[in-house]
Amino acid sequence: MKKDKKNSFNTPEGYFENFHDRLMDKINQEKIEEASDVIPKTDGFSIPEGYFEGFNEKISSKIRETERGKLVQLNPYRKLFYAAAAVAAIFLLVFTPIWKSDAAIAFEDLASAEIENYLNISELDMSSYEIAEMVSLEDIELNDVLEDDIEDENILEYLDENVEDIEELNLDYSDYE
Amino acid sequence: MIAEETLVKELKQEETQAKAFEVLVNTYKERLYWHIRRIVLNHDDADDVLQNTFIKVYRNIGGFKGESKLFSWMYRIATNESLTFLKQKSKKLGVSDEELKNTMLENLQSDVYFEGDEIQLKLQKAMASLPDKQKLVFTMKYFQEMKYDDISEVLETSVGGLKASYHLAVKKIEAYLKED
């Protein structure tokens, strides 16, 4: 950069090199002070005495408990499951051509109907986020993964309040022609 | 402190797993607790969610690829667990998310593990009025004093976006606290 030759003033060494850092520190400091005038520095939560000291034991025993549960319950069923799968595979190979000729309900249809029925009547321990991760977007409607249905009116109201530029939406106008 | 890579390696090997898991719990239990507590507000709920978080970490550590820091990965699990916990709670009680927030704030006033005064209670109300993401950014920055880079890894949002969210959150909280 060109030096100002008419200027006889001087600055401490390295003054301009770290000016930006010092300025940002000052701005940040001011921001913190500005906020802390109004916002309390602590939020008032406390914990039972000795909570953290006893936590390790609590978590270890919970893990042991779940591991034991897994060993007792799953292993016998897993063996049965493999056996059943093997029998089902042979059964399918042998009988599929016969079924195809006259049966209206195939083995696979029956299985998915059962699964669908189970999913309908059971309370799934899954969040809508988890379901959305598993099912592809093409296969579902938005309302399938939401706990409360969204009416078109609500969507329009939301867009009206929150979208400043309609171009951002990248609407496919062919739908409206 | 033990290096993160070594810890992850030990967590994945059966013979060193138990010891390494203890180190992991000791290192992160307090930080994760306070993160969760500021989302669910109540101590017992925070305790449940913290246990579930560590169990999920224990079960899924085999699949941890090290693409993000272990610390961010655990924070992400804790955040998801906390938000899912609140979703399930409102579903069980048959109330909306908004109604649940109000109940949580009412309960806070009689909570033996909340020693806040009137202004701290008002702060909680102000925070409850923020969108989830803004509230998260605010607590992570203001109370947990996390760096934007770390928050960015946990919430998978750009640093610029986080700064804007934080600034907005501070403004809204200040305005709320200044109201009569």
DSSP string, A22-90: HHHHHHHHHHHHHHHHHS-S---B---TTHHHHHHHHHHHHHHHHHHHHHHHHHHHHHHHHHHHHHHHH
Residues of B in contact with A28 (CB under 8 A): none
Which residue matches tokens 């049966």? A103
Q: What are phi and psi of B9, to 5 degrees?
A: -60, -45
- What's the pLDDT at A153? 77
Domains and CATH numbers, chain B: 1-102 (1.10.1740.10), 116-180 (1.10.10.10)
8 A C-beta contact, residue B53 and residue B137: no
Nearest chain A residue to B178, by CA:
A38
Q: Please say if the pLDDT value at position B19 is more than 60.
A: yes
User: Mean pLDDT, chain B, as a whole number?
Assistant: 92
Instruction: Give percent above pLDDT 70 in chain A.
Output: 43
For residues B74 and A173, the model is more confident at B74
Q: Is A66 on the interface with B (CB under 8 A)?
A: yes
Q: What are the DSSP E strand ranges found in B32-141?
A: none
A50 touches chain B (CB under 8 A): no
Output the pLDDT for position A12.
83
Nearest residue on chain B to A45, judged by CA atoms?
Answer: B114
Q: How far apart are CA B159 and CA B148, in angstroms?
A: 6
Cross-chain CB nearest to A127 (options B47, B84, B114)? B84
Cβ contact B168:B129 at 8 Å: no
For chain B, the residues whose C-beta falls within 8 A of a C-beta of chain A are 22, 25-26, 29-30, 33-34, 37-38, 41, 43, 47, 50-51, 54-55, 58, 80, 83-84, 87-88, 91, 113-117, 119-121, 123-124, 142-143, 170, 173-174, 177-178
Q: Which residue of A has its CA nearest to B173?
A: A39
- Quote the pLDDT of residue A10: 81
User: What is the per-residue pLDDT for A18?
Assistant: 83
Which pLDDT score, from 0 to 100, does residue A32 have? 61
pLDDT in tens, B62-99: 888 888 889 999 999 999 999 999 999 999 999 998 89
Buried b (16+ CB within 10 A) or exposed e, B129-142: ebeeebbbbbbbbb
Locate the domains of chain A by residue range: 61-102, 104-146
The model's confidence at residue A31, banded by pLDDT at 50, 70 and 90, is low
Give Rg (Cα) of chain B.
18
Between A77 and A41, the higher pLDDT residue: A41
Q: Is A68 an interface residue toward B (CB < 8 Å)? A: no
Neighbours of B50 (CB within 10 A): 27
* Residue A64 pLDDT > 80: yes
A129 and B84 within 8 Å at the Cβ level: the answer is: yes
How many Cα atoms are found within 13 Å in the side-chain-facing hemisphere of B173? Answer: 30
B41 chain-A contacts, CB cut-off 8 A: 45
Interface test with A, best of B19, B48, B113, B167 (most A CBs within 10 A): B113
pLDDT tens column, A134-149 = 666 566 666 665 656 6
3-class secondary structure, B145? coil
- The pLDDT of residue A19 is above 70: yes
Q: How far, in Å, CA of B120 to CA of B111, rounded?
A: 13
One-character DSSP codes across B109-131: HT-TTB---HHHHHHHHHHHTS-
Whether the pLDDT of residue A62 is over 80: the answer is yes
- State yes or no: pLDDT of A131 exceeds 80: no
User: How far is B48 from chain A, CA to nearest CA, in Å?
Assistant: 10
Cβ <8 Å between B47 and A62: no
Please name the residues in contact with A64: beta carbons below 8 A apart, sequence gap of 6 or more: none
| Bridge partner residues of B114 (DSSP) | A45
Say yes or no to pLDDT of B39 above 80: yes
Do residues B75 and B154 make contact, with C-beta atoms less than 8 angstroms apart? yes
